[in-house]
Each structure stands twice: as structure tokens, then as C-alpha cells.
Structure 1
Amino acid sequence: MKLSRISSVVAAAAIAPAVLFASPAVAADAASSPANSAPDTAPDAKSDTQGNAKTDEDNRFAILKIINKAKPGSKVYEAAQAAMNGSAEDRVRFLKEGYELAQFADDRLRTVQISSIGGKGVRRAALEALRKDTHEALREFLEVGQYTARDEDNTVEIARIIHTAKQGSVLYDAAQAAMDGSPEDRTRFLESGQHAARKTDDRISALRILSTGGPHVREAAKEALRSGKAEDVRHFLDIGQYEARKLDEAEAAKDKNSKNNKDGKGDENAKDSHESTDGKATDSGKEKPDGAKAAKDPHGTTDTKPAVATSSVSSSGAQLASTGAGPATPWAVGGTAVALTAGAGLILTSRRRASSED
């Protein structure tokens, strides 16, 4: 056992110098050996300006979120797409300053668009923001100012509707409620509420006209209400009812003229009948006194019935009966008197001549 221990110690003492002298060479070889170099990076990994591939992935994700929120065709959308297709430096540059510049251009364009379609108050606020031409002023208008100005314009518009609407109508009551409500209530009324209220009022007006109009007016009102379209009811109230009323008035005038013509013919027939009856009564009345005079006897008694007169028709006209007086009686009496006077004169003349001869 002692001999083996001694031999181990002797062997270790002999090897130790060789090991100690060989260590620097091993260290030098280890420093230059490729097996112990730094870890390699992926050949396709792109580092950003900070030399960090993971940071570029984060930048890509951030730009994708911007693209999803941006409106296609806007400056922000186009600039973000260009950054995604570019280098890592392009993405960093977009996030640091490109996004802000693109958003500023979009905000300016949006402000101009709102100004072109807004009311008086909105246009005034938009022009003020554009005059300042700062991103802060534009953002303040888009986020706050435009809504405040729009509510002022809405208030003015609702006041105008209240002034022109009929009191007690559905439109009037809805406008009053919106005026007393919130800005959202006023916006909702102008966008949809007023149209629903007008439609209800129009249907009520059409039903009222239907209950009082003529045949053509009632038919036109029913047709408009059956369609269920607001524009049809509005057309009836603006135009249709007046056209139908003209037809009703024309038919009424035609019926009235026809009735007047019938009444006129009846009056003429009654008048002719009355005149014919009066003529017969007059002739009879005239004949009765003449007949009575002819029926008197020489003693003046009137108990004798009057003789019946007969008439004969000739080319020269009608003559009365020989026992009655006719239109030639006065001439006959006058002629007789003249003849008698002439005869008496002749007799007197002849007597004078006879006495003178004697």
C-alpha cells in the first residue's frame, strides 16, 4: 500500500510541470476557436434603428391597428400602407412623425367638408379653425366645436318649424319637445322625428278631406291613403285634391244646368196651357153677352135663352150668326142712316120743284 501511494505521488509530480506550461497555449487556442464565437442572428431578421427585431414587430402591429381604423383612401391609410411595405426605418419614421402629418391633412380635409354642408354656426366655427391652421385647433373643432355649433343651428331650425307649424299638430308638439330636450334630441328630431310627425299630420288632413269632399275627392283621398307612401299623401294634399275638386264642381254644374232645362220646359208647358184656357174662357164670355142681347124679344123680356151662334169659315174670315152683332154692324147702321137722309133730301127737293111749277 505504501509503495503504491509513493508511485502515485511521483507520477503526479512528474506530470504537473507539463500541465502548467501547456495552459497558456490552450487559452490562446480557445480565444481564436470558431466553436466558441457569439450566437448568430437570423439571416432574414431586420433590426429597427435601435437594432431590435422584436421592436420592429411591435411597430408592424401598431401600424396595422392604424390601418384598420383609418378610412380607405385617406392620407393616414395610404401612409400606413406605404410604411408597412417599406423598411424598419420607414415604419419608425411613420410612427414618429408621418402619422401625425397624415392625420393633420385628413383633419383639415374633414373640416372643409363639414363646413360645406353645415349650418351657419358650423361654418363659422370651421372657418375659425382653418384660419388658425394648427392641428390642435382642427382637433378641437372636430371633437367638440362642430357639435356645439351644430346644436345652435339645430335650435334655430326647430324654432322656425315651430313658427310655421299649426298649433296642436303632431309636428308642432314634437318640435316643442325637441326644443326642451337635449342636443341629441334636437338632432334626432331634425334627422327623423320631423318627417314622421309630418307624415302623421298629412294622413290626418287627408282623412278630414275624405270625410267632407265630393265623390272624386273621396276616391283620390282613398287611393293616396291606401298606398301608404308619404309622398303619395303629400301629392294629394298639394295637387290631387284640387284636381278632383274641379271634377266634382264640373259635374255639379252640369247636373244643375240639366235640372234648370227640365224646369224651364215644364214652366213653358204650364204657361201655354194656362193661356189656352184663358182664351177659351174669354171667347165664351164674349159670346154669352152677344147671344143674350140677340135673344131679347121686342117687349124687353130676358127670360128667353140666348141663341146659339154658328160660325162659317171662308177665305175672307169668320162672320157671326145673322141674329147676332158682328164687326160690320156699325158700318151697316151708318150706311142706312146716310141712305135715309139722302132719300129725304131727294123727296124734299122734288116737292119744291112741283110747287114752283104750279
Structure 2
Amino acid sequence: MRLVRMTSLAVVTAVAGSMLALAPLTAAAEPRQPVATAPISQVAEDPVPETEEEFRAAIQAILDAPEVGVAMRREALEALEIGTVEAMTYFLETGWQAAQDEDYRFAIFVIIGDPETGRAVRDAADAALEDGSLEAMSYFLETGRWIAQDEDNTVAIFVIIGTPGISAALRAAAVAALDGTPEDRAYFIETGQYEVE
């Protein structure tokens, strides 16, 4: 199979900023703990390898990508260490998919494993794992988790608003956050609520 064809079929952009964070209910959507899951789509436009040197260069391009996942790096290095055209072809045509699956699943389990992860994020993560496709897991890591995080942040703000005895200033700040952007709500949950006097 041609490398161009391989990389264009199933590789999708991974994590926003190629960094994952644990996403608790009360956390802003701001990366804190990197879990690398970079895809290999950056080689999609490269020439199809024909010689051993070209195969090595194609795999090295994957290794040089920012935030390459642990499994992807392991399998790429093993293909280079074996060094045969057959081993490198197998990695570029097939092996990368299993490695990417492992990296995505690990990243999602890190999120699920945080006891402070909110219900919406947890449900979205479970749905991505249940689907099991690279596309579904990539979507969750890149986009879906942040949509779910905003849902969790919104719920957390309503909880604050519903707390008896909160100040008028805190209530006003919470309402303003609800009327704002996802970034506004994340900031309020992470920092803004503690800045209200």
C-alpha cells in the first residue's frame, strides 16, 4: 500500500495542541498533563518510499513529529531497529494503526481515571472507547472532550449560583460566565470565582 494512501485514509488530527490534560469538573480547559498522541498525517504528502533510505526517512519524520505517542514511538523505533524493508513497510501500512489505537486509548483512560473528571467528559470518553475507531477517539481527544468540559463547567456554575448565601457579586460573575464563551466559563471555574470580592 502506498504511504500517501495509508496516511490519508485513517489518520486524523489528534489532540488540541497535541497535549492532553486531565479535565476535572472544576478545571479550565487548559492543558496540564501532557499525554502525547500526535498522528502521522504530516507525512501524507511525502513521496512514496521506494528505497530503504526513503523508508527510514519516512519513519524518522514520524519520530520527529511533536508529541508522538509512546506506542507510536516504540513501534517506529522497532521497525527501524529491525531495519528490513518488510518491517518498515509493515509499520507504515499497518503497524502504526495499532500503535495509534494504543496511544489514544491510554490518553482517554488517563482522563477517565482522574476522580475529578466531570460526568459529561466521562460519558463522552466512554462513548469514544465504545465506538473504538481511531476517528471517534481522535474526535473526542481533539474536540469532543472540550465540548463536554464546557457542559461540566456549566453545571458547576449552576451549582455555585444555587448555593445558599453566595454574594451578589459572585452570583453576577457566575451569570456573566454563563452568558459568555466556553473560555469564560472555564476561567470562572478555575480562577474567576476566587477573584470575586
TM-score, normalized by the shorter chain, greater than 0.5: yes
Number of residues paired by the alignment?
Answer: 150
Runs of 5+ in structure 1 lacking a partner? Answer: 1-69, 78-98, 248-358
Match of 1:159 in 2: 109
Query: Which of residues 167, 170, 178 is equivalent to 1:225?
Result: 178
After the TM superposition, which residues 261-340 of structure 1 pair with which residues of structure 2 at under 5 Å, given as runs? Answer: none
Letter of the aligned partner of 2:103 in structure 1?
A: D
Gaps of 5+ in 2: 1-43
CA contact (8 A) 1:151 1:187 kept: no
RMSD of equivalent CA atoms: 2.6
> Which residue in 2 is equivalent to 1:196?
147
Q: Which residue of 1 aligns with 2:127?
A: 177
SS at match of 1:117: coil
**Matched residues in 2 for 1:130 and 1:107: separation?**
10
SS in 1 for 2:131: coil
* Bigger relative CO (Cα 8 Å, ≥ 6 apart): 2
Match of 1:179, SS state, is helix
Matches of 1:100 and 1:118, distance apart in 2: 24
Amino acid at match of 1:154: Y
In the alignment, what sits opposite 2:68? 118
**TM, length-normalised to structure 2:** 0.65
Alignment partner of 1:146 is 2:96: yes
Report the CA distance shift for 1:105/1:150 in structure 2 as closer, same or farther (over 3 A). closer
Output the CA distance in 2 between the equivalents of 1:103 and 1:206: 54
What residue number does 1:205 align with? 156
Q: Secondary structure of the residue that 1:100 maps to in structure 2? A: coil
Displacement, 1:201?
0.6
Alpha-carbon deviation of 1:137? 2.1
Percent identity among equivalent residues? 34
Question: CA distance change for structure 1 residues 100 and 128 in 2, over 3 Å: closer, same or farther?
Answer: same
Give the TM-score of the pair, scaled to structure 1: 0.38
Greater helix share, 1 or 2? 1
Q: Deviations over 1:95-144 (max 9, x none)?
A: xxxx7237435423333235x52222111101101112333322221221
Partner of 1:236: 188
Which of 114, 137, 157 is matched with 2:87 structurally? 137
